[in-house]
Amino acid sequence: MCTKVISLQECSEAQVGQLERVKFFPRMLLAVDDMVTESEYHREKLKRHNRYLHGTGIVCGLEVTPAPTAALPLQVKIGTGYALGPCGDEIFVGESILLDLSKCGPDATTDPCEPSIVRGVSGVRGTVFIVIKYSECFARPVRAMPAGCACEDEDCEYSRVRDSFQISCLDRPPSGPPLPPSFCDVIHDDAPLTCPPAPVDPWVLLARVTVPSGGQPVNTNNIDNTVRRYIFSSAVMQAQMIICCCGEDHPKPQAEPNPLLKVANIRFLRGVEPANPTSGNSILDMVGLSLNPSQPLKNGLLVDANAVEVVFTGPTVDLTTIDSSRVKVEDQSGVIPGKIVKGASLPENTIRWVFDYVPVVSTVALPPRFLRKKTPYTLTLAGTGPIAIKSSLGDALDGEHKQFPSGDDKKGGDFVLNFRAS
Q: Which domains does the chain have, with CATH numbers?
A: 4-145+154-244 (no CATH), 262-420 (2.60.40.1220)
Contact at 8 Å (CB) between 134 and 109? no
- What average pLDDT does the segment 264-277 reach? 90
Q: SS3 for 244?
A: helix
pLDDT of residue 364: 45
Residues, the chain: 422
pLDDT at 241 over 90: no
Q: Regarding predicted confidence, which is higher, 261 or 358?
A: 261
Contact at 8 Å (CB) between 352 and 340? yes
Residue 328 forms beta bridges with which residues?
380
User: Which of 344, 363, 371, 361 lies closest to 269, judged by CA?
Assistant: 371
HSE value, Cβ hemisphere, 13 Å, CA-based, for 203: 20
User: For residue 405, is the peptide bond before it cis, meaning its omega torsion is within 30 degrees of 0?
Assistant: yes
pLDDT of residue 371: 82
d(CA 324, CA 23): 81
For 35-87, the pLDDT digits (tens) are 998 998 999 899 999 988 888 999 999 999 999 999 999 999 999 999 999 99
pLDDT of residue 1: 47
Q: pLDDT averaged over the chain?
A: 86
DSSP state of 390: B
For 184-219, the pLDDT digits (tens) are 777 777 667 788 888 888 999 999 999 998 889 999
* Alpha-helical regions (H) of 64-204: 183-189
The whole model's pTM is what? 0.56
- What average pLDDT does the segment 8-26 reach? 72
